[in-house]
Amino acid sequence: MRSFWKELPILVIIALALALLIKTFLVQAFSIPSDSMQDTLQRGDRVLVDKLTPWFGSEPERGEVVVFHDPGGWLGESQTKSSGPVAEGIQKALSFIGLMPSAEEKDLIKRVIAVGGDTVSCKRGGKVMVNGKPLDEPYIFPGNTPCDEKPFGPIKVPEGRIWVMGDHRQDSLDSRYHQNLNNGTVSVDDVVGRAIVIAWPINRWTTLPVPSTFDQPGLGAAAAMAPSALGVAGALPIVLWRRRRLIAKVRTEAESRPERLTADC
């Protein structure tokens, strides 16, 4: 029994170290504080966020639900409500090991609609358009329109940035409402990770896959054309140079052929 009590502190330290490691590099739990992602996410849901993939150079993709740091003023000057020293202590302890978000952190959760190189727009009465392709968005909150309350675009998303929108379009201060700062786009460096599953409450457990509308053919055509265009532009001078050499060679042979015939005679 004594040996157990001697080893217990070591076991606790190891457990905390592993929890901190998982929180920092693998997954972290976040609580949903608002209705901006309804009906996909409800207020009070706990989601697990994949923080590992970005470490390997992966960037957010269209259709993913991502958590990101406030790019600057999106959350405004929100006041933190005091919940008492005991509750605050528990939250700090749980946030340290990744089971709850920190009260000091200002993070948001939205859906990625467009990525670097894309052109995104939406007219009143129409659908959200990405690179000229309309999105079919069954995840939008029932009764909402794609953008009637806030039409936008066309906006070209810079490389290394994303355009995000909430699923509850009429209750989400997303990229549409912050175009005074980087045209409403968010830097991929501010992205904490992708929300992959609703972990709590148990009766709402489900994964958060990318909707099929983001897999439609040609959606990424604009971005995909850029490397091809550069390849063609780079190859064109080489083709022209080889053609000039071929024409010059043919002319030289044509001019020398009569001389050879005369000598043969």
Token pair 């909402």: residue: 144
pLDDT, residue 89, reads 56
Q: Please tell me the distance from the alpha carbon of residue 133 to that of residue 128, in angstroms, as a whole number.
A: 8
CB atoms within 10 A of CB 37: 28
Confidence of residue 88 (pLDDT cuts 50, 70, 90): low
State which amino acid sits at residue 1.
Answer: M
* The two structure tokens encoding residue 103: 């009260």
Q: 28 pLDDT exceeds 60?
A: yes
pLDDT, residue 93, reads 55
pLDDT for 56-71, tens place per residue? Answer: 667 899 999 999 999 8
Give the residue with greater pLDDT, 159 vs 30: 159
Q: CA geometry: angle at 19 spanning 22 and 97, to 5°?
A: 105
Can you give the pTM of this predicted structure? 0.69
Main-chain dihedrals φ then ψ at residue 130, nearest 5 degrees: -125, 115
Q: For 153-162, what is the mean pLDDT?
A: 95
Give the residue with greater pLDDT, 96 vs 153: 153
Q: Please tell me the distance from the alpha carbon of residue 257 to that of residue 63, in angstroms, as a whole number.
A: 67
Q: Please tell me the distance from the alpha carbon of residue 265 to that of residue 261, in angstroms, as a whole number.
A: 6
State which amino acid sits at residue 110.
Answer: K
Catalytic residues: 36, 110
Contact present, 62 and 111 (Cβ < 8 Å): no
Q: For 155-184, what is the mean pLDDT?
A: 95
Q: For 209-214, what is the mean pLDDT?
A: 95
State which amino acid sits at residue 245.
Answer: R
